[in-house]
Chain A
Amino acid sequence: MPTRLRRSSRIAELKTLVKRAWRRRIGFRIGVIIVVFAITMAILGPFIAPYPEEGWGIASPETQLRGPQPPSWEHPFGTDLVGRDMLSRVLVGAGYALMQITIVVVVSLVIGLIVGVLAAYSRGLIERILNYFTELFMAFPAIIIAIALNTFGIRGLFVVIISLIITWWSWYARIAYVYARSIREMEYVTLAELAGLPSYKIIYRHILPNTLTPVIVQAITDTGSVLLEAAAINFLGLGLPPDYPDWGVLVQNGFNYIYSYPWISLIPGFFILLVALGFSLLGDNLREELDPKMRHRWKLWF
């Protein structure tokens, strides 16, 4: 079956890319280790946490008595204001972090791919209109949208995800457009058109598969930035409520007491940095392996 053959070759391409990057680049190896570590943390976190119920945010009289304690053998990351074990909170928080960025990246990627590929395929007015909307949404920063929603008292996970999706899809649309546009000018697409292949088949068979790999690689790089923005929204108190074990919220919890108990803010923040760094290393190195010429296109760096 031709379809199966094509799909497997697509996966094979990604596989060789990953293998080559792994062999040649230390940065890529470090990135893989960090990301695998983060995913393990997200899945196993709630189970291996030493004090799981404290990790989820439950404070008991026992923890109240404990109070904020600096890092020790019993509590490697110290305890927070009401005595909850920070290690457990950080471990449970990994799941929240990965869930938020996965939803945002996957949904934005799908919207972006559809808009970008459609814009590239349909010349003329529709192309103009889709590009106009892409550029329009690029101008909105996620945090401003989150603040606007908060001005009217809307809060929660919904705010984080919606405000990030509203802004991020446009970046993927732009990248998908750039690649799909260059493929659209290729001779085999023109030949397929002349042969009378319907346009949805051309998009599905020729344009989409060849756009997919570079856009996914870009998405991996962006995942770090999405995490940073989500954490900033949560830190500012615009997203998840104060007792959730999200890393941004944890940094916020310690923020008013940084002179007395600095570890409450500094330790979860370090994990945000680490995971963002891991995704950046992964994506950057993959991209440079994928297409060394891509380094010229600075505009796609963001």
Chain B
Amino acid sequence: MPVSLNYLVKRIFWSLLIIIGVIILSYIIIISAPGDPARIWAGNPRGEKAIYAIQKAREELGLDQPLPIQILKYTLQILSGNMGISIEYRVPVVDIIWRGLTATLELLVVSYIIGVSIGILLGVESALRRGSRFDGLMQSLAIILANAPSFWLGIGVIVLLAETIGFTGYGRIDPYIMYQTGFHPITGFYLLDALIQGNFAVFIDVFLRILPPAIVVATYPLGLGLRVSRALIAENLNEDYVRVAVAWGIKRKIVIWKYAFRGAIPSLTQVMGLAFAYSLIDAMIVEVVFGREGLGSIAFSIIGKSDYTLITGLMVTVTIFYILMNTLADILQAIIDPRVKL
């Protein structure tokens, strides 16, 4: 393994530092915003005694303490896996976010499988035929897909499906089928749950509902994967080792995938790993467009509600997800690339 333990420890320690910074910064941004969460926690009291009720609520929430102590408490709380109780819904924030995160991740993973596999296949093909009309077409397709606003594509897909085959089934799952077949979530990833329970009716239903939004989210990784793999492989095809392999009479397929593509895997992993973190936001927007549950719709349900615990929890979750993905992509790239010595 080309990665030294020293590098790993340093990289992980740095990420941990950033995660702590993110928690502190999120708390400061949220707490310095106007609006009084204590008033809502107290149930919007009116009348003469209201001031005492609000004061009591403020003590309960710990908002009466000095800011540095609040921040310290909050950071320790988050690091121990507790995000407090939602002001709006009065249930633990972790439960709400876990439910949303599984829904969003399910969409993201499905769209990533679609986007990356098609993107790489097209990228390899156009690298092999560089300069041809097909290559030009793919290059334009990639740049258009990478620049299309996802919410607009989502609307386009909804209109298109409704006009052609009359499909309007959105949301995550049909509650009727769910009730009839006795489906119950275990992990929160419905596709996985359906497979575990051997419930194919639910699996097909969930899959058909996830497909249209997944295609929309897939456009970004598809465009990016196409461009990156095309450029990397086109470069590798010019290398001497590929030329030697061809001269030796090794089969074309093996030269492409075992020689040229193998050299592109590390960089590709890193780029696509980073893009995975970005696509989370894309998935959240597309979710709202398609009316699915998930992190995006949770964020929308609390607009104007001053629910500071839930929004900080959400902010921390999304940023930590990004940092983890970034770290993972870096480490993974270093592990699989024999040329990198760290």
Q: Contacts A280-B147, A301-B271 given; indicate if A273 touches B284 (C-beta within 8 A).
A: no
Asked if residues A266 and B307 are in contact (CB atoms below 8 Å), the reply is: no
Asked if residues B34 and A232 are in contact (CB atoms below 8 Å), the reply is: no
Residue of A143, A145, A262 near B159 (CB, 8 A) is: A262
Asked if residues B22 and A277 are in contact (CB atoms below 8 Å), the reply is: no
Residue of B34, B155, B306 near A251 (CB, 8 A) is: B155
* Residue numbers in B under 8 Å from A93 (CB-CB): none
**B43 located at the interface, meaning its Cβ lies under 8 Å from any Cβ of chain A in the complex:** no
* Contact code string A159-197 (vs B, CB < 8 Å = 1, else 0): 000000000000000000000000000000000000000
Residue of A139, A145, A302 near B29 (CB, 8 A) is: A145
**A22 located at the interface, meaning its Cβ lies under 8 Å from any Cβ of chain B in the complex:** no
Asked if residues B159 and A235 are in contact (CB atoms below 8 Å), the reply is: no
* Residue numbers in A under 8 Å from B147 (CB-CB): 224, 228, 273, 276-277, 280
Q: Nearest CB to that of B227 among chain A residues?
A: A301
**A151 located at the interface, meaning its Cβ lies under 8 Å from any Cβ of chain B in the complex:** yes
Q: Nearest CB to that of B22 among chain A residues?
A: A139
Main SS of the interface on chain A? Answer: helix
Minimum distance in angstroms from B164 CB to a CB of chain A? 13
**A36 located at the interface, meaning its Cβ lies under 8 Å from any Cβ of chain B in the complex:** no
Asked if residues B146 and A298 are in contact (CB atoms below 8 Å), the reply is: no
Asked if residues A154 and B155 are in contact (CB atoms below 8 Å), the reply is: no
* Residue numbers in B under 8 Å from A154 (CB-CB): 33-34
Minimum distance in angstroms from A45 CB to a CB of chain B? 20
* Residue numbers in A under 8 Å from B21 (CB-CB): 132, 136
* Contact code string A97-116 (vs B, CB < 8 Å = 1, else 0): 00000000000000000000
* Residue numbers in A under 8 Å from B278 (CB-CB): 141, 302
**B216 located at the interface, meaning its Cβ lies under 8 Å from any Cβ of chain A in the complex:** no
Asked if residues A269 and B18 are in contact (CB atoms below 8 Å), the reply is: no
Asked if residues A152 and B306 are in contact (CB atoms below 8 Å), the reply is: yes
Q: Contacts A266-B155, A276-B149 given; indicate if A141 touches B270 (C-beta within 8 A).
A: no
Minimum distance in angstroms from B191 CB to a CB of chain A? 26
**B308 located at the interface, meaning its Cβ lies under 8 Å from any Cβ of chain A in the complex:** yes
Asked if residues B151 and A235 are in contact (CB atoms below 8 Å), the reply is: yes
* Contact code string B138-173 (vs A, CB < 8 Å = 1, else 0): 000001101111111001101100100000000000
Q: Nearest CB to that of A238 among chain B residues?
A: B303
**B42 located at the interface, meaning its Cβ lies under 8 Å from any Cβ of chain A in the complex:** no
CA distance A266 to B270 in the complex (A): 34
* Contact code string A203-239 (vs B, CB < 8 Å = 1, else 0): 0000000000000000000001000100110011010
Interface size class on chain B is 35 or more
Asked if residues B22 and A136 are in contact (CB atoms below 8 Å), the reply is: yes
Residue of A132, A258, A280, A302 near B274 (CB, 8 A) is: A302
Residue of A135, A150, A259, A295 near B18 (CB, 8 A) is: A135
* Contact code string B313-336 (vs A, CB < 8 Å = 1, else 0): 011001100110010000000000
Q: Contacts A273-B149, A299-B270 given; indicate if A144 touches B159 (C-beta within 8 A).
A: no
Asked if residues A143 and B285 are in contact (CB atoms below 8 Å), the reply is: yes
* Residue numbers in A under 8 Å from B281 (CB-CB): 141, 143-144
CA distance A284 to B281 in the complex (A): 24
**A90 located at the interface, meaning its Cβ lies under 8 Å from any Cβ of chain B in the complex:** no
Minimum distance in angstroms from A91 CB to a CB of chain B? 19
* Residue numbers in B under 8 Å from A265 (CB-CB): 152, 155
Minimum distance in angstroms from A152 CB to a CB of chain B? 4
Q: Contacts A150-B304, A151-B304, A298-B270 given; indicate if A232 touches B148 (C-beta within 8 A).
A: no
**A38 located at the interface, meaning its Cβ lies under 8 Å from any Cβ of chain B in the complex:** no
* Contact code string A271-292 (vs B, CB < 8 Å = 1, else 0): 0110011001100100000000
Asked if residues B311 and A273 are in contact (CB atoms below 8 Å), the reply is: no
* Residue numbers in A under 8 Å from B323 (CB-CB): 139
* Contact code string B288-324 (vs A, CB < 8 Å = 1, else 0): 1100000000011011111110010011001100110
Minimum distance in angstroms from A209 CB to a CB of chain B? 30
**B2 located at the interface, meaning its Cβ lies under 8 Å from any Cβ of chain A in the complex:** no
* Residue numbers in A under 8 Å from B151 (CB-CB): 232, 235-236, 251, 269
Minimum distance in angstroms from B15 CB to a CB of chain A? 9
Asked if residues A266 and B18 are in contact (CB atoms below 8 Å), the reply is: no
**B25 located at the interface, meaning its Cβ lies under 8 Å from any Cβ of chain A in the complex:** yes
Asked if residues B306 and A151 are in contact (CB atoms below 8 Å), the reply is: yes
CA distance A227 to B162 in the complex (A): 29
* Residue numbers in B under 8 Å from A270 (CB-CB): 152
Asked if residues A147 and B155 are in contact (CB atoms below 8 Å), the reply is: no
CA distance A140 to B319 in the complex (A): 6
**B118 located at the interface, meaning its Cβ lies under 8 Å from any Cβ of chain A in the complex:** no
Q: Contacts A258-B158, A266-B152, A302-B278 given; indicate if A148 touches B311 (C-beta within 8 A).
A: yes
**B63 located at the interface, meaning its Cβ lies under 8 Å from any Cβ of chain A in the complex:** no
* Residue numbers in A under 8 Å from B304 (CB-CB): 150-153
The 7 sampled A-B contact pairs (Cβ below 8 Å) are A143-B284, A145-B29, A151-B304, A224-B147, A265-B155, A266-B159, A284-B143
Write the residues of chain B forming the contact surface with A, with a CB cutoff of 8 angstroms: 17-18, 21-22, 25, 29-30, 33-35, 143-144, 146-152, 155-156, 158-159, 162, 224, 228, 231, 267, 270-271, 274-275, 278, 280-281, 284-285, 288-289, 299-300, 302-308, 311, 314-315, 318-319, 322-323, 326
Closest 7 CB pairs of A and B: A269-B152, A152-B35, A152-B33, A139-B319, A276-B147, A277-B147, A147-B299
User: In the complex, given contacts A141-B278, A273-B148, what are 8 additional A-B residue pairs having Cβ atoms less than 8 angstroms apart?
Assistant: A144-B314, A149-B33, A151-B308, A231-B149, A235-B149, A251-B151, A266-B159, A280-B146
